[in-house]
Amino acid sequence: MRFCCKTLVTPGKSELMHMTLPRLRTLPSSVERLGPNLKAIATLASMLLVGCAAQAPEKESAREHVDREMISHTVQIDIGESPVMALPQRKVRVTEQLLYKVDYFDRQGNVLDTREEYQRLPWAEKPISVVAGNFQTILYTDKDGHLQLNLLNDGFLDLDYQNLRVIQLSAKADQAVRGEVDLLVGRDLRSKLHEAVELIYDNLEEDDVDQWAYRVKRLEELGLEVESNQLENMLILLTTGDPMLQGEFIQALEVNSRP
C-alpha cells in the first residue's frame, strides 16, 4: 500500500467572502459526516511525519565515512609458563595482534569520533621457522594457530641431542613484523632423547614380545608417558592380524608392569 502526503490549502479571506450563505450552512453537516475520516487521516499523517523524522538520521549516518589507520602490528609466540623443555613435546600458540586508529567523519568531513580498535587473530595454518643448532626446518600451525613441537618426530632424529641447548622459533608477517622466542632444552631431557629414539625407532621385527614390552616400560620409566602409550598402541595394532602374538604381547606388558 502506498501513501501520499498532500498539503491542505486553507482558503484565503477573499475566497471566504465570495462563499454564498447557503453553502456555508451546509459545511457543518459535511464536516460532521467526515469527522471520523478526518481524524483517521490526521493520525496517519502524523505517523508518516514521525516516520520521516526517524529516518532522517539514518540517511545522514549513511553518508558518514570511516578511516582506519594501523598503529602497530606484532606477532606473539606463546610457549607456556616455562621456557625450559622437560619433555620432548611442547604446544605453542601463535597470534597476530593489530592495533588501529579509527576516525569517524560526517558528510561535511568533520571528525565525529576517534577510537582505537584492537584485533587478535590466530596465526592459522602459517609457517613457523624452527632452528635447533645447525638444523633448520619449517613447521605449520593448525587452524587455531597452535603448533605441536615434538623433538622425537622424524624431522628431528638427526639432531645432536647431547649438545642441543636452544630451539629458536620465529614467525614473520612481513619484513618489518616478526615474532621470535627461544626454548631451552633441559639437561635431563637431553640425556633421555637419544635413548628414547632407539626405543621407539629401532627395528621391532628383530625383537620378541618381551623386548617390545621392555621398550614400552622403559619409555614410561623415563617419564615419556605419551611416547610409551603411542608405542604400545602401535604394537597392538600391528599384531591385530595375529591374535596369538597379540595375546603374548599383552601378557608380557602385564608381567612387566608388576611391582
pLDDT at 187 over 50: yes
Where do we find the cell 616400560? 217
Report how far residue 45's alpha carbon sits from residue 6's, in angstroms, rounded to the nearest whole number: 9
Choice among 52-66, 188-202, 223-237 with the minimum mean pLDDT: 52-66
Instruction: Point out the domain boundary residue: 167, 189, 211.
Output: 189
One domain for residues 246 and 131 = no
**237 in a structural domain:** yes
58 in a structural domain = yes
- 69 and 171, same domain (yes or no): yes
Q: Of 31-35, 233-237, 252-256, where does mean pLDDT reach its minimum?
A: 31-35
Query: 75 with 126, same domain?
Result: yes
Q: 182 and 107 in one domain?
A: yes
- Structural domain total, the chain: 3
Percent of the chain, pLDDT > 70? Answer: 74
- Sequence-ordered list of residues with C-beta below 8 angstroms from that of 10, at least 6 positions apart, any chain: none
> What is the residue range of 45's domain?
15-62
Query: Does residue 72 sit in the same domain as residue 58?
Result: no
Cβ(138)–Cβ(127) below 8 Å:
yes
Q: Give a yes or no: residue 10 inside a domain.
A: no
The answer to the question of residue 197 being in a domain is no
How do residues 42-91 score in pLDDT, each as one tens digit? 565 555 555 554 454 554 455 678 999 999 999 999 999 899 999 999 99
CATH at 82:
2.60.40
Residues 56 and 81 both lie in one domain: no
Do 163 and 98 lie in a common domain?
yes
Task: Read off the pLDDT of residues 126-145 as tens digits, 9 standing for 90 and up.
Answer: 999 999 988 999 999 999 99
Return the number of other C-beta atoms located less than 10 Å from residue 87's C-beta: 17
CA distance 61 to 53: 14
pLDDT, tens digit, for every residue of 79-118?
998 999 999 999 999 999 999 999 999 989 899 999 999 9
How far apart CA 57 and CA 112 sit, in angstroms, is: 14
- pLDDT given at position 205: 87
Judgement on whether residues 114 and 183 belong to the same structural domain of the protein: yes
- Residue 3 within any structural domain of the chain: no
Query: Is residue 47 situated within a structural domain?
Result: yes
Sign of the CA dihedral running 254, 198, 82, 169: negative
Q: Do both 110 and 134 map to the same domain?
A: yes
For the full predicted model, state whether its pTM sits above 0.85. no
User: What single DSSP character describes residue 80?
Assistant: -
Per cent of the chain over pLDDT 90 is 64
Helices 209-221 and 243-256 meet at what angle, rounded to 10?
A: 40
Q: Give the residue from 61, 73, 68, 66 showing the smallest Cα distance to 116.
A: 68
Q: What's the chain's average pLDDT?
A: 82
40-44, 176-180, 186-190, 197-201 — which is least confidently predicted? 40-44
Kindly state whether residues 69 and 117 are assigned to the same domain: yes
Written as nine digits, the cell of 130 is 624452527
Q: Higher model confidence: residue 18 or residue 38? A: 38
Q: Which of 137, 159, 189 is the last residue of a domain?
A: 189
Return d(Cα 161, Cα 43) in angstroms, integer.
87
Q: Indicate whether 185 and 214 sit together in one domain.
A: no
Which DSSP helix (H) or strand (E) runs through 105?
strand 89-105
> Could you say which of 189, 214, 233 is where a domain stops?
189
Q: Do 43 and 113 fall within a single domain?
A: no
